[in-house]
Each structure stands twice: as structure tokens, then as C-alpha cells.
Structure 1
Amino acid sequence: MHPKGVSMNTALYLNEPLYLPELDRGKWHTFYRLSKKGLLHCIHCGAPLSMSFSIHQKPSFIHPPSGDNRCREQVEAFEQARQAESQTAATTAHGFRLPQRRAVLNTTPAWKAPLVLSNVAPFTVPASAKQMAMEGYREQLTKAGLTLDDAQWKAVKHIDGPLLLLAGAGCGKTRVLTARAAYMISEANIHPNKMALVTFTAKAAQEMRERMTEYPGIEPTFAQSLLIRTFHSLFYTMLVHADPNKWHGSKLIKSGQELLKTQGRALGLDESEFPYDQAATQISWWKNHMIAPKHVETTDTFEEKAALLYEHYEKALRETGRFDFDDMQLGCLYVLQENNRLLQRYQERFAYLLIDEFQDINPVQFEIVKLLAMPQRNICVVGDDDQSIYRFRGSDPRFIRSFTAHYPEAKTIHLVENYRSSHPIIASANRVIAENRTRLEKTLVAQHTSDQLPYLFFPYNEEEEATMIVEEIKRLIGKGICPSEIAVLYRTSTSARALVDRLVDTTLPFSLEQGFACFYERPFVRRALSFLRIGRNEESPYVMAELLKALFIKQEHLDQLLHIQKTERCSLLEAIPFLTELPAFQAKKLKTLPADCRRMQKMNPSEALAFAEARLGLNETIKKQGQEGNKFEKGSDDFNQLKVAATQFETVESFLIHIDHVIAKQQECQTFQTRHPKSIQLLTIHRSKGLEFSHVFIVGAVEGSLPHDYALDAWREGDDGPLQEERRLMYVAMTRAKKELAISVPVHYRGKRAHPTRFVRSLMNRSQN
């Protein structure tokens, strides 16, 4: 029995019986969507059937509760007969039993139960639970509700000389850093003006300021005089004191993208085709590695264009006397290197440096920190090389790994007692990260355990993955779980497409990370969809503009089309064959384009996209424009996702209506989420860093997604650095979970058979043995 009714494998669709075990496995989700529309019925009484698609129960059709058992009896008789018929009709070929009625055997497993990661070492009561009697300032902290374990207390009491705190996920590093500052002020009598706490984000800095007021012995005036800044804020303050005119705030470009676009237009880089946001990230990386434009070495077409843009961007900055955030760091380094008097002033001012998230430091920041820490060398750094995941921004974990080489007298303290996650989650995460070749050895120790074990589940593809997760979220919320305690994490934002598609059709509140662009409004997706849209809306200049981009026809021809539309009294689509001054091969292809676009309206969307790819030039668009983007987000990946989405619809019209609905609902959601803080969180793994949730779902745990194709390509070429960072991403994702961790391993991904990520294979093997 199913909690919502009677479970069965048979349904009626368009007066034809459906027997679930005989249906193409890839079509199961299509019938789920049909059931949502009320199009599936009981073969006996005609009652509408729903379809169950959850993580923990085998999919089935659900008959609403009824006191009449005849439906159940009739269906059971039908299914027994069908099963017997299949067995007698089977024949043996090459050692396999093949049903004769089916031409091709569906080799995909019908459904696979979740794999619970049960091979976990027994939980033992951690040593921190047996602490010795406390006294002095530690006792005061405890009475104030600020309990520290023994390792944390050792870190707090350390005052002079370099200190490396290796703080694992959920091990209370922020508390230790602020408690250490409080101890230095109240117990060691160090004036707060001699100290600086430095972190990476304004949010983290504000959290530290708020925490400082909680400590015993810290007067409000002391807390206010303590310098707690981000790197950029600290460096900018130093620059303004050095040269207030050159570094005046009016000359700061807060977002360099507008200047980049201005320079890019002069270089012929079309904003609709060239990813300026990714170019800005790449240029920032070069700057943070102190690589001038003339010294850039490129590896692909995107980097070649970005390097040229970098050169012109820097020239424009020099000519206008302006600077960006990265220039503040470089400028600070150069000022300190060239002005010894100023350097000595700040070395005396910052006699004690406390630096958070040290694994995220970049080469420029590291050089500045080394200068400031001399000659006292009273520098305390906190970080975890296992959580270094911002390589694309310039972060480099080798600085935390080599800290003791730069400071041989440094003391190292390991903070490994995890207060966030249950023992089964921590044990699984430890196994995953332990396989990284280059890391500082550490093993987290959970402080509590749970009967809820992490598990893997195996949807057929991204569509099933999204449905299963949404159904499980509904179940959790039905049990009283707050939506904001639930997070879905993914490697790239493209992987959220199916989840957003599913969530907009529910009443569940959900939040997307800031700046999240709707999948269907991505530049390459808009171009691909223009082949489908123009036949439905032949008069749309907006759609036609996208189609011209896809066909490599210059945008000035749109004006010509609008003129032809008026003079010939035809639609924009019908005007296309009349375009002049085009190469012969283009002109020939355009002659049949109106008829072809109308013909596609009669196809299902999968057929229409395949037709546009093979016959209308979309394949050339994919080859030439599909590789645009950075190494992680390419148009070709978006197109593969679009093809997966298309499989769920019978007509082009229904597919486009769904897309427009998703676009509108996502816009509503992004407006609504500012008013609804208690929402399900949809985040990239990068954006989830530093956060925690009771229930975490990790999607797309397959080769090519996590780890990303880019990392696999680099690994094949002999560079395993990116692959090690991908493993760190998996580790970070796993350690966001407090109570429940579910990892999705789809059988198909981007329309192709997928393989489980290497990051969970050892977990799978241990649990299956």
C-alpha cells in the first residue's frame, strides 16, 4: 500500500493499457507529467491515477483510496497475466532472456533503491566531552556560553610568534579567532590598536565585530577600536593615507564590466556572444597573480580574446587615472615595497595579525601579509586547505601548506572536532577528502552521531533527479522541517535547470543565489530556441534578432528585414529570403527557412531541435559559439541541457509555453525571496561555503559534472590540480549537512549514459561489500 492510495504498475492512457515494467525506462518521467495533468486512469473504474516518483519508493501508479477492492483485484489479475505472458514469450540469446514482443532490450535498470553508506566506523565519545576542570578566562567564557575545547583553548592562549590553525569544516574557527583577540586584549593586555583581524568578506567581518561584544572583559570602546577589515578595505585605507589624490574614492571602478564592454565593443566583441563576466574573472586572476597583459599565456580562444581585452582595459584605466579593486591590492604591494618608512609605520601599527580563511589567499595578498608581519612575526592564520575552492579567483592553497616553510618557528594547532555534522556524514566526508594526493593531513571528529546515514540515489536523468528531490522536500516540510534548513547544491548553475523547472510548478518557497540567470534566458539557449520560436511568432523582432545571431547574420540586417516586412506586407520570417548582400551559401539556406521553421511546429520539441541542428545551421552555431564561455560554463553544455528538457514535452508549443512560464515564475521568485527568508536554498557549491543546513542534496554526482569536464581534461594532460580542487568541492558540499546528506548519481546526464563520480566510488564499494 502507498500512503496516498493503492500502488499499481498499470494505467490507461488514451484507451491503451500501460504496464510500467514494459515501458521504456526513459519515458517513465513523461508519464509522471501526464499523470499530473490527469491523463492516466484506472483500467477498471476509470478513476484518475497519479504517479509516485520518490527517492525511497519504487515508482508506481497510485489509485485514490476506495472501499471497492474490485479495481485492485482486476489490476492484479491483469499484471499477473502480463507478467506470465512476458515470461513465456521470452527467449534466450547470448545468455540473456529477451522478450520477443520488444525489438530492443532496455538495458537500463528499471529502478535502483538508494544505497545507504552504512560502512561507517562505530562512534566513540570524543575526548572533548571529557574535559578537565576549567579556570580563569576559560571558565568565564564557559559561563558566558562560549565553550572551547582543549585545542581551541590552546589556540586562544597562544600570543607571540607565528601560529597556524588548521581548522576543519564546522570546527568553530571564527569563535577561536575572535576569542583569541578577546583573550589578548583582556588577559594579555595588548591594546586593540596593535591588532588587525583580516577576512575576505564584509559579512564575515561584520560577524566578527558582533561576536567581539559577547566576550567577557571586552568593553564596547575596545571592540570598536579593534580593526576588523576585509583585505580590500584594509589595503584601500593604507593607499588613501599614502596618496589620497591618486586613490580617491571617485576614481574607483566598482564594477569593471562597463569599461570592459566599452573596450570590447571597439574590439568587435559582441556582448550577446562574449561572456564579459567570465572575462572579468579571468582578468582579475591574472592581476592577482601579478601577470601583466604582455606576459599572459593563453590556452584557448576565450583566453586569447580576454587577454586582448585585458590589454585595452588596462590602457583605458591608465589614460583616465582610474583603478579597480584588484589595483588596490597591487597598488598597496608596490607602495609598501617602495616606501620603507610607510611599511615600518604599518608594521608597528599591526603588531599582531589574525587572518581568517587563509586557504583563500592569493599571491598579491600573501606578499603584502609577509611584509606587514615583519619583523615581529606575530601572525596567526586560520584555514583549511581541504576547503580551498576558489582557484578561478586566484586563491592558492600552497600558501597555507607552505606556511611553516616561511615561518619555521610557527606552532601548528589542529582544530578537528566538528560541531556541525553527525558522525556518519563526517566519516563519509573524511574518506572522500583523504584520497587527495596533496593536502595537510587531518581527520575530522564528529561530536555527535545519528541513525540517519548518508545515502546515494540513482535517478534516470536530470528530470527524474529534480522530481525525486522536490518530492522528498515536500515530505520533509510535511514533517515540520523549515524550508530554509533544506539546501540543494550543484557544481554549476546549469545543473539547477530541472530543479527550477519543477519548483516553479509548486507552492514551495525557494531562493536562488544572487545574480542567478534563468537557464532559458542564457545567450546560447535563446539562440537555439529562436529556431522554435520564430515559427510560432513570425512578427517578433526580438526573436528574429536572436535567430540572426544563430545564423551568423549581422544585426544591421534586422533593419532591412523590417523594411521588407512593410514593403512586401509579409512577416519577418517570410522576409528572410529577400535579404541581400549575403554570401551565396547563406542566401541558399534562407530560401527554405520559412517553410522549415513552420514545419518544425508540427514536430515534438526533441525532433525540432534535432532538425534545426542537422538542417538549419544550428550545428554550426554549436561548433562556433557553443565553446564560448569559461572552462566551466559553455553554450554546448546549455544546449545539451535544453535537449534533455525538450524530451518532457509532446509539442513545440507546449514546450515554449512551459519555458515562458518558468521565466516569469523565476522573476517572481527572485522578487519574492527578499520577502521570504525561510526558503529552500538552491546554491552552487561555491556559494554554499561557510553555510550549514539540516538537510542537503548534492545533484549531478557523475563524471563530467562533479568532477567537471575541465578538470578531467586537465588530469588527462598531466595536471591533477583542478581534479583535486573538484574533490575539495565535493568535500565542502558534504560538510554543509548537519543531519541528512543525499547524493544524486543520475544514470544519464546531458542525454548520455553517465558514470558515478570517482569521489563516491570508494563509498559505494564499501557499502555494497
Structure 2
Amino acid sequence: MKKLRLKKKVTLATREYSVDYKTSLNEEQLRAVMHDKGAALVLAGAGTGKTRTLVYRVSRLIEDGIDPRSILLLTFTRKASAEMLSRITSLLDTRAGKITTGTFHSFALKMLKQYYKQIGFSQEFSIIDQQDSADTIDLIRGRHLPPSIKKRFPKKNTLHKILSLSTNKRESTLTILEEYYPKFVEYEDQINTIFMDYHKYKKVANVMDYDDLLLYLLELLKENPDARKQITNMYKHIMVDEYQDTNRIQHEIILLLGGEENNIMAVGDDAQSIYSFRGADHQNIFFFPESFEKCEVYKIEQNYRSTEQILDLSNEIINGAAFKYEKKLFSRDRIGEKPYLVAANRERQQSEFVVQQILELREQGIELENIAVLFRSSYHAFDLEIDLNKSNIPYVKFGGMKFIETAHIKDLISYMRLLFNPKDVVAWQRVLMLVDGVGPATTRKIIDNISDNRLTISNYKDVLPTLNKNVGITNLFKLVAKNFDPTDITYAASELAFYYKEYMDEKYDNVNKRWRDIETFLQITDQYNDLPTFLNDMALDPPINSLDELEPESKEDEYLTISTIHSAKGLEWKVVFLIWATEGKFPSAKSTHTIDSVEEERRLFYVAVTRAKDYLYIIYPFGIFDRESGMVLSEPSRFIGEIGDEFLEKFILTEDEDDEGIDD
């Protein structure tokens, strides 16, 4: 027998609002927006208006007399914060500008800049990014390891990943090694020694890495009752977006920020938790209601993005999940075609079919910008990129190397960090290695002297007289010694760029391409008023992820999007092609050894199909070439194999002499 329950009907307060909440929101959204006091979890499915709900809730709080300065809205990207703030301001008025909004890391930075003394730093501490962190670990690694084990010992990026996972998951080094890198368990003691020296190194250099921001904020809240009380009194109403993506530290921080009233609203979707490789903990969204004595749970299931047929398939996929909140997405009036499941007889035929369909869709009036091709891993797109280029179809790719991670851009940022903090030994490590005639030994000698306060940019000739013979060193110290105005970032960036160009001309063959990148970099610096803000943004949340993500020069330019699913989260297109939906590729063969990893692959598949608004093509090759075995037969993804025939239109590709078609 079905269990019946009463659902309270939402009644607006008798007061008059300037915003018409009742007609602007559906019943589910309105219920969450009108939540009064205490903790609340809003389970908002894909395409259900999660952002709209958050925007209207902030507006409603302000209209009910809540001081906007006491509202904290935490997101996972700076872009999301800016969009929400803009929408709240448009909906209400300029009072919205007084709320605090930003990422967890930017909020942590703001708090630590206020309470720097309590954590043992000076206010001028700077932030190092992931690669600089790995380089510093490598420097320390070189000091500790005997030559006999260097080749077998984890490399710098692996060490950085171990430390980051240990920090964000709040687990010991040994636990991380056993779970992710069992072959390095024997080196646990040496690894821990390196990590301890790394933490000391940062403290002396007055720098923090990305993970430190959260770690020190958590430490501040736990160990300094006065600071915690001041912060919780400052922020009486807290909202957190994308709660399913939080890690263990972020979850602990939120619980500590609640204060006496626990006016915390977490918004998220357990079905879209796909970032465990970054330390995100899928369990946090399940633990949230249990962490408070009284926590209201609201579900938002009405979808405004996809057709009913696409939603039916999405619901079936996620229904197979072992751990989930029960939800069923639905659409009031969007009826369309069933998703297509297309079997290609070989790998290349898959990409040829996608290109053919894209050309046909464009002839039917569907613009390229309304079409996306999604895949599990970046290398799955290699054949596709070749065929797109052959057919002259312009495209942008998400999921490759980030613009901010390219060597020449990182070099420039390191120079700029030295202008702000001449004791930044991590930046010195990078720029010194660019000087002709300077190797690891000289670099280490200079850095050791800077760390011990024996060497400065003004006395280097006296402390290390041998450096006088190196023109490159002399020019570098002269550059850093220049008294640049920190508010004139445009001039400083231009001077550094032209200084660096001489090195670039000698180092790289593709100078013109790299110089175009630097010109783009200079355009970005033009948007900032001062150097510290720019450097913080570069470390916390770069304004662009890659050159491919820049706006086209002309709005009339048309381009197709091809993307990893991880990079496509939060986006939507009229037509979506999901390629390589093959067992062993999706789920990845590496992700089938534990229930948790298979479950995350299922959620990733769910995220992919819920990007489609009107048309969804799921494609897999049933013939795959293997180097040892030749052509082998493959099967569609297990996530498709579980689905009943009524949810998909199934086709097999056939080749004719004149054309290629699909047969059912």
C-alpha cells in the first residue's frame, strides 16, 4: 500500500513584495524560496531552475528585511557568482550588491586576509597555483631522496595529488596511498617528511597553496572561538550552490559557519556528483540533513530544459543508482522524439556519422552553436576532430590544456608575483630556471639565501658576488627592483611581456602563436585595477580556462562545441551527440573495480544525457580495433544495456556506395 503524506501549501506573508514570487515560480521552487529559518536542503534536478530558486530566495530574504550584508552565497565558479549577483540586482535593486558572494576559496581568502595574525601569516601572503605547488614539492623531493630510489619514487605531480586528496578528503597519507597509489605505500614515511618540509617552506615564504585556503579557514573556525563568533555574527544567512561537489573540508566549514541559528540552505543534486577525482565527497549531500536537528528537504523536479522522452531516459539511467535521493524529473508540455541509440560497425564510422548528421542539421536551420558532441575522455575525440577539419566544420573543444597552465603564461604570472612579493621563493624557482647559465644548483643557492633573509633584490651582488658575471641574473634583479605602481597593472604587464619576449624568441619555434597568447593575457590584465587582485584571481579562478573558450571575434561566427562531459556540466544544447557509449570506454575500464567508481560513472552518463534539450544521439561502435587481437566486438555501455527498449529508438549504421544511412 502506498504511503500518503500531507504536503503543506505555500502561503505568502500578508506583506506586499515588489517581486511577484507566486507567479514567477512553480510550487516546488516557491516552497524553497519561502523557507524561513533553520537548515534546508534543496534537491534540484538537472534543468529545474536551481539558479532561479537561489536568486529569488536571496531577493525574498532582502525584501523581508534581512540585512544583505549578512547574506553569504557560495558557488563553485566566479562566473556563477557574477551571474547570480547580476540576476538578483536585476530582479530586486542595488541592495543585492551588498551581499557577499564568491567561491569557497575566494571567501576563505577574504577571511584569512582579515584574520592573518591568528593563523601565523603576514597580511601580504600570496597564493601559489597547482603547478607551482608541484614544483616546490619537487624541489624538496630532490633534497630528501637518495639516488637509489629516485626513479621508483612518485614524481612531483603525483605527490601533489596525494597531498591534495589527503587534505580535501581529510584522510591520512597512508589511506590515500592504499586507495589510489598502492605501489608507493612503502614510501609513506619519506612522503610525509617531504610534506612536512613543504608546509614549513610555505610558512617561511609567506605563501599558501589552493588547498591551504580552506585548511586554514577550517583551523581558524575550529581553534579560534572569537574569530568564529565574529564571522557567524557577520553572516546570518548562508546559501551554498552545487553542494554535491563539496569536499570534506568544505562540508566541515559550512557546519561551523551555521552559528546558533543554522540558517544554511544547501542546493544541489546528488545525481550530478561527478568530481571525486578532485576530492569531492558524494556523501556530503546525504550527511547534510543528518547534521542538523531540524532540516527541511525540498525537491524540485519540474524540468524546463528537455523533452519528456529525454527525461524518461534520464530517470531510467539514474534509477539504477545504488545510493540516491528518490526524484523523477518531468516536463509539463515538452513532447519530442525518443533519443536515438546508434550502433556503428567501426570506430571511424562513428565520427563520420556525427559529421554527416551535423551537416544535415545545419541544412535544416539548426545552428552549430546549438549542437554539442560529448565524450567521456578527451582522447575519444581524436577521430572526430580529424573529420570535422576535413569537412570544414568550425568547433571549439573543452577539456584540453587550460590557457592559464601553458608554460609562457605561467612564466609571466611568476614575474608578476615577484613584483608583488619579492620573497615568493616559488616564483623565484620558476623565473631563475629561465635565465641562461642558471641551473638547479645556482637556483637552490639563491632561493636558500632569499628564504634565510640574507639575500634581497638590492644586495645580491654583495651576498653572492659570483652572480655579477651573469648578465641574465643582473637584468632579472634589475627588473624585479623596478618600483612599479601596483595600481598600474597594464604598464607592469607590458614591461614584463617585452622583457620575456627576448627569452621566448630563443626558446620556442612557435613564437607567433605564443605571442598571441600573451596579447590575450595583456587584454585580461587591462580589466584589473591592481596587481594583488589580479594575482589572487589567477590562482583562485582564472577568468578563462582556455583560448577555445574566448568569445569569437564576431558574434556572427558559428562554431560547434565538442567537450568532455566534466567540462559540459551546467550547459545545454538543442542537439547532443554522446559518442563512445561503449562498455570499457564508458564506464571507463579503470572505473569498474569498485561500486563507488561505477556509481560515479553512472552519474556522469546521466549528466551527459541531461544536457540535451530536443534531440539526443547516443552512439557506440560495436567493432573496435585492438593492437593484439585485431577487430573485436564490443557492447554498448552497461548503462544503456539496463534500459528498456521503449525508451530508445535503435538504429544500425549501413554504408551504401553513394551515401551512409541508418537502418532500424
- TM-score grouping bracket, smaller chain normalisation: 0.5 to 0.7
Q: Residue in 2 aligned with 1:704?
A: 584
Residue 151 of structure 1 aligns to a residue in which SS?
A: helix
* 1:135 shift after superposition: 10
Match of 1:206 in 2: 82
Aligned-pair distance for 1:673?
Answer: 6.5
Higher relative contact order (CA 8 A, sep 6+): 2
Matched, 1:435 2:317: no
Q: Does 1:228 align with 2:228?
A: no
Contact 1:510 1:673 in 2 (8 A): no
Equivalent residue in structure 2 for 1:727, among 580, 602, 605: 602
- Please give the per-residue CA displacement for 1:389-430, whole angstroms capped at 9, x wherever unaligned: 111111112111122211241111110000000110001100
- Structure 2 residue matching 1:412: 3-state secondary structure: strand
1:149: which partner in 2? 26
Q: Residue 180 of structure 1 aligns with which residue?
A: 57
Q: Which residue of 2 aligns with 1:558?
A: none
**Map of 1:347 onto structure 2:** 232
**Superposition map of 1:86-485 within 5 A:** 141=19, 147-186=24-63, 188-215=64-91, 218-220=92-94, 222-243=95-116, 246=121, 248=123, 250-255=125-130, 256-263=133-140, 280-293=160-173, 296-299=176-179, 304=184, 312-321=194-203, 322-485=207-370
Counterpart of 2:201, as a letter, is E
Distance 2:31 2:115 in 1: 38
Q: Secondary structure at the match of 2:24?
A: coil
Give the drift of 1:264.
Answer: 5.6
CA deviations on 1:99-148 (whole Å, 9 max, x unpaired) are: xxxxxxxxxxxxxxxxxxxxxxxxxxxxxxxx9999989985459x9821
Decide whether aligned partners of structure 1 residues 238 and 372 sit closer, same or farther in structure 2, where only a CA change above 3 A counts.
same
Q: Which has the larger radius of gyration?
A: 1
Percent identity between matched residues is 28
Query: How far is the alpha carbon of 1:476 from its aligned partner?
Result: 1.2
Shift of 1:258: 3.1
SS in structure 2 of the partner of residue 165 of structure 1: strand
Q: Distance in 2 between matches of 1:481 and 1:275?
A: 48
Q: 1:690 to 1:139 in 2, by over 3 A?
A: same
Partner Cα distance (2:335, 2:42) in 1: 28
Q: 1:509 to 1:361 in 2, by over 3 A?
A: same
Q: CA deviation at 1:309?
A: 5.9
Give the conservation status (yes or no) of the 8 Å contact 1:673–1:679.
Answer: no
2:382 is matched with which residue: 479, 497, 503?
497
* Gapped regions of structure 1 (runs ≥ 5): 1-130, 519-662
Query: Who is 1:680 aligned against?
Result: 560
Checking the alignment, whether the CA contact within 8 Å between 2:127 and 2:210 is kept in structure 1 is yes
CA contact (8 A) 2:572 2:613 kept: yes
What is the CA distance between 1:763 and its match in structure 2? 2.7
| SS at 2:597 equivalent | helix
User: Which deviates the most, 155-164 or 424-433?
Assistant: 155-164
User: Do the aligned partners of residues 473 and 323 (structure 1) sit closer, same or farther apart at CA in structure 2, a change above 3 Å counting?
Assistant: same
What displacement does 1:285 show?
1.8
Q: Which runs of 5+ in 2 are unaligned?
A: 1-8, 404-512, 518-545, 627-631, 651-664
1:517 and 1:473 map into 2 onto residues whose CA distance is 27
Distance apart, 1:517 and its partner CA: 8.8
Counterpart-to-counterpart distance in 1, 2:357 and 2:156: 38
Counterparts in 2 of 1:728 and 1:230: CA distance versus 1, 3 Å: same
Instruction: Give the CA deviation at 1:711.
Output: 2.0
Distance across 2 between alignment mates of 1:726 and 1:211: 33
2:240 and 2:266 in contact (8 A); partners too? yes
Conserved 8 A contact 2:112-2:217: yes
After TM superposition, the structure 1 stretch with the greater mean CA deviation from structure 2, 422-431 or 451-460, is 451-460
1:253–1:355 Cα change, 3 Å: same
Tell me the residue number matched to 1:89. Answer: none
Report if aligned partners of 1:416, 1:443 keep a CA contact under 8 Å in 2: yes
CA distance in 2, matches of 1:132, 1:299: 47
Return the letter of the residue paired with 2:178.
T
Alpha-carbon deviation of 1:154? 1.1
Q: What is the rounded CA distance, in whole Å, between the counterparts of 2:363 and 2:122 in structure 1?
A: 55
* 1: CA distance, partners of 2:97 / 2:634: 55
1 CA distance for matches of 2:388 and 2:192?
Answer: 40
Q: Answer whether contact 2:10 2:30 (CA < 8 A) is retained.
A: no
The two structures, once aligned, show a CA RMSD in angstroms of 3.4
Partners in 2 of 1:159 and 1:336 — Cα distance? 26
Q: Alpha-carbon deviations, 1:421-451, whole Å to 9, x = none?
A: 0110001100110011110111001233233
Q: Does 1:741 align with 2:616?
A: yes
TM-score by length of 1: 0.58
Residues 464-486 of structure 1: CA deviation (Å, up to 9, x unaligned): 11111111111112222221111
